Structure 1
Amino acid sequence: MEQVIAYCERKPGATGEYPFGPEPLVMKVGGKMFALFGDDSISLKCNPIIAQNLREQHEAVKPGYHLNKKHWNTVSLGSSLSEEELHAMIDHSYELVVAGLTKTMRAQLGAV
């Protein structure tokens, strides 16, 4: 899990916070969540069509736990997913959140 957290932390403007108490870790960009870490899982924002496809393709990908199931997936860490597949899901989540930020905030991140 430490490697996955470190990957998220390397995203421009990413910050780790604990808004719900000592756990879970929430990764944000521009004050908005793009990843939520559970005991052995990570929840990620996802385009609804892609989210459904990922759930059909991978047993480790489920509808978001305690989140909007249309827009969030919860992915079991330590599953059969490759590191590349997991990184692609994290990248997609981060990019969706950045796209929803103001133009000024995106410019500050270098993502205009």
Structure 2
Amino acid sequence: MLGAAAVRAYCLDLPDVREDYPFGSVPQVCTFKVAGKIFLLSALAAPPPLQISVKCDPEIAVTLRAAYPAVVPGYHLNKRHWNTVSLDGSVPDELVLEMIQDSFDLVVDKLPRHQRIRLR
């Protein structure tokens, strides 16, 4: 089962990713950004199970929610484009890592061409 350290390490291994704590009133919420755009949010220091919020293609988001009770619409986010995933062991680690990568890719795909080329 993935924990905070593994999620953090995976995110920071992606190209040009920055970790940030932008929410002054909620300092424990960490964001991971590429080119200044958020692709993952999490309260990494929260007690288990860790929860992460990731961007997701809307059709895939619905499928994941139907298949895994630990995947729900994004908490305080656009529920069509974000999922919140409870890392309680019920969602395979490989799938969680794939969701993180897909979230990163969705953000990169929306960047200007010169930035996309640099990040691929």
2:56 to 29, 46, 55: 46
2:21 to 14, 18, 22: 18
TM-score of the pair, normalised by structure 1: 0.94
The CA distance in 2 between the partners of 1:103 and 1:66, in whole Å, is: 30
CA RMSD, 1 decimal: 1.0
Structure 2: runs of 5+ lacking an equivalent: none
The CA distance in 2 between the partners of 1:106 and 1:85, in whole Å, is: 24
Q: CA deviation at 1:23?
A: 1.9
Query: Secondary structure, in 3 states, of the residue corresponding to 1:66?
Result: coil
Figure out how many residues of one structure are paired with residues of the other and give that number: 110
The CA distance in 2 between the partners of 1:11 and 1:54, in whole Å, is: 23
1:108 to 69, 94, 118: 118
Query: Secondary structure, in 3 states, of the residue corresponding to 1:108?
Result: helix
Q: Which moved more, 1:42-51 or 1:15-24?
A: 15-24
- Structure 1 residues 25-57: Cα deviation after superposition (integer angstroms, max 9, x where no partner): 100001100000033200000000000000000
Structure 1: runs of 5+ lacking an equivalent: none
TM-score of the pair, normalised by structure 2: 0.88
Moved over 2 A (4+): none
1:33 to 33, 38, 45: 38
Q: Which moved more, 1:16-25 or 1:63-72?
A: 16-25
2:71 to 61, 77, 80: 61
Query: Secondary structure, in 3 states, of the residue corresponding to 2:79?
Result: coil
